[in-house]
Amino acid sequence: MKIIIDTDPGQDDAMTILLALASPEIELLGVTTVAGNVPVAQTTENAIKALDLVGRSDIPVHAGAERPLLRPPVNATHVHGQTGFEGVDLPPPSRPATPGHAVDFIIDTVMAHPAGEITICTIGPMTNLALALAREPALRTRIGRIVAMAGAFSEVGNITPAAEFNVYVDPHAAQMVLASDIPIVMLPLDVTHQMHTSAARLARFRAMPNRVGPVIADWLTFEKKFEATKYGTDGGPLHDPNTVLWLLRPDLYRGRGVNVRIETDSPLTIGMTVTDWWQITDLPRNVLFIREAEVEALYDFMFERFSRL
């Protein structure tokens, strides 16, 4: 599978990039960064540092949108720390961003491959993807699939009572992506909140006989400081890696094709993914919405893969 990861690193974003690199089924064509957890200069630096961790300076990293399409920028430094990468001190990035805007990289890469061949894995606000769709409408029939960590049904909201962070930061971009007719798989908070980064699992990462394991343990230990307290669970949610995990092991997830729309007007609920799980409307089922995960099997799979790095 040839994929582009569009991302706002974020410790869980970095894990997603590393998981893709540990998996022979996946060819990571490039990383595009966006403003989200922290500003785009920082998410770009963090993406390069994650790739440096495993010596992959061959993977292009293109910086993208500095801000959402319409909404004022929002960040998540309360979860990820000021740099978005708190938890472990990594060396400075080995290189600057690859020249060329993220939106152009997405367009050029997709248009250079046969239709349907490229999967976009989006694990931050969808600003770059929306801009690419506006700039090159042909992407609607050329992108094979979008796998998004986005939204929520019964988990409702994590940045507001009604909205998940990636959609909340740029609800208009999410709306454009959902209206694109490109096959979309959503891994929402309903799934990510089941994937607890428990003390036992952190210990398994820490005990890994390589560099990546302990770094992941440190990243997740930092992230869970805020989220485990907020949810009162043994460990916090694990969000972004569920996208690459779904690509690798869709058999360990369950969901259903449903209609999803985005609230973009109400100040109270803007960014809410209005999910017709019970198929009350006869609106098109535009999203494969995942709600169940075989958590233990997924962690066992992750440990096997990360231990290869």
Catalytically annotated residues: 239
10 binds Ca ion (CB under 5 A): yes
- Calpha distance 275→249 (Å, rounded): 24
Spatial contact of 167 and 71, defined as CB atoms under 8 Å apart? no
Q: What is the DSSP letter of 191?
A: H
Of the pair 10, 157, the CB lying nearest Ca ion is at 10
Of the pair 124, 171, the CB lying nearest Ca ion is at 124
Q: Minimal distance in Å, beta carbon 108 to ligand RIB?
A: 25
- Calpha distance 222→98 (Å, rounded): 29
Binding mask 203-242 for Ca ion (x = CB under 5 A): -------------------------------------x--
The residue from 124, 157, 171, 255 that contacts Ca ion (CB under 5 A) is 124
Q: Choosing among ligand RIB, Ca ion, none, which partner's interface includes residue 164 (Cβ < 5 to 8 Å by kind)?
A: ligand RIB
β-pair type (143-149, 118-122): parallel
How far is CA 156 from each of CA 100, 127, 205, rounded to the nearest angstrom?
36, 21, 30
Of the pair 76, 129, the CB lying nearest ligand RIB is at 76
Question: At 9, which helix (H) or strand (E)?
Answer: none
- Calpha distance 30→128 (Å, rounded): 14
10 binds ligand RIB (CB under 6 A): yes
Q: Minimal distance in Å, beta carbon 89 to ligand RIB?
A: 20
**Cα-Cα end-to-end distance for the chain:** 19
Residues 14-43 binding ligand RIB (CB under 6 A) are: 36-37
The structure tokens listed for 222 are 């930092």
In sequence order, the 6+-apart residues with CB closer than 8 A to the CB of 112 are: none
- Where does this chain touch Ca ion (CB under 5 A) — which range of 11-19, 47-55, 114-122, 171-179? 11-19
The residue from 85, 105, 153, 165 that contacts ligand RIB (CB under 6 A) is 165
- Calpha distance 204→200 (Å, rounded): 6
Residues in the site for ligand RIB, rule: CB under 6 A? 8, 10, 12-13, 36-37, 76, 123-124, 149, 158, 164-166, 239-240
Interface residues with Ca ion (CB under 5 A) are: 8, 10, 13, 123-124, 240
